[in-house]
Amino acid sequence: MPDRTCTVDECDNPPRSGKAEWCAKHYHRWYRHGSVDKTARTAGISISKGRRYRSHHLPGHPLATPCGRVYDHQVVLYAAIGPGPHPCHWCTRPVRWDAGKAKPDRLTVDHLNDIGDDNRLANLVPSCPTCNTTRAVQAKAAALVAHGWWSNHDTIARLKRGRAPQVVESLTA
């Protein structure tokens, strides 16, 4: 009997289970955003409302990358609050501009209204990477629920449709 593979074109990975059609990678893409494509663009669900971060070439700026680029929202907040350290707006953990990229105490600029090109000072706050990422994940989940996608496809919704009512009662109690 030949080994089965994922049914997505050009994918040679094995299916995630005996009855599954897709490998784990493609299943999780479908689960997250309704498409087996690499990006969520096909789902039409965005928390950024299509807006992107803007940057400029400012080689002398303290936050500039080695090629001299710096994001506008970083320039605005840095000019207002200075080099720091500063407390995270959400958890009050001290954060610094000069911490390494993967450091938990690195200052990340958080847009309060989740719009990446709204760089008004009143919309920008210092944040730790954990709080900034958590807010983004929560906003994405809320957008999926608002569009009715997760309400039809997630595990809890399937349970609520009657597959295991005793489990749903214990989960919602």
Strand partners, 108: 127
pLDDT of residue 136: 81
pLDDT of residue 102: 76
Could you give the CA distance from residue 173 to residue 171 in angstroms, rounded to a whole number? 6
pLDDT of residue 163: 41
Could you give the CA distance from residue 12 to residue 3 in angstroms, rounded to a whole number? 10
pLDDT of residue 53: 83
- List, for residues 67-117, the tens digit of each pLDDT value: 999 999 999 999 999 998 999 999 999 999 987 777 889 999 999 988 888
pLDDT of residue 160: 47
pLDDT of residue 139: 78
Residues contacting 117, CB < 8 A, separation 6+: 51, 52, 53, 54, 72
Residues contacting 5, CB < 8 A, separation 6+: 11, 12, 13, 14, 15, 23
- What's the first-to-final CA gap in the chain, in angstroms? 47
Residues in the chain: 173
DSSP codes of every residue in 22-65:
S-HHHHHHHHHHS-SSSSGGGGT--SSTT----EEE-TTSTT--
Task: Mark the ranges of the chain whose per-residue pLDDT is less than 70.
Answer: 1-2, 32-33, 38-51, 148-173
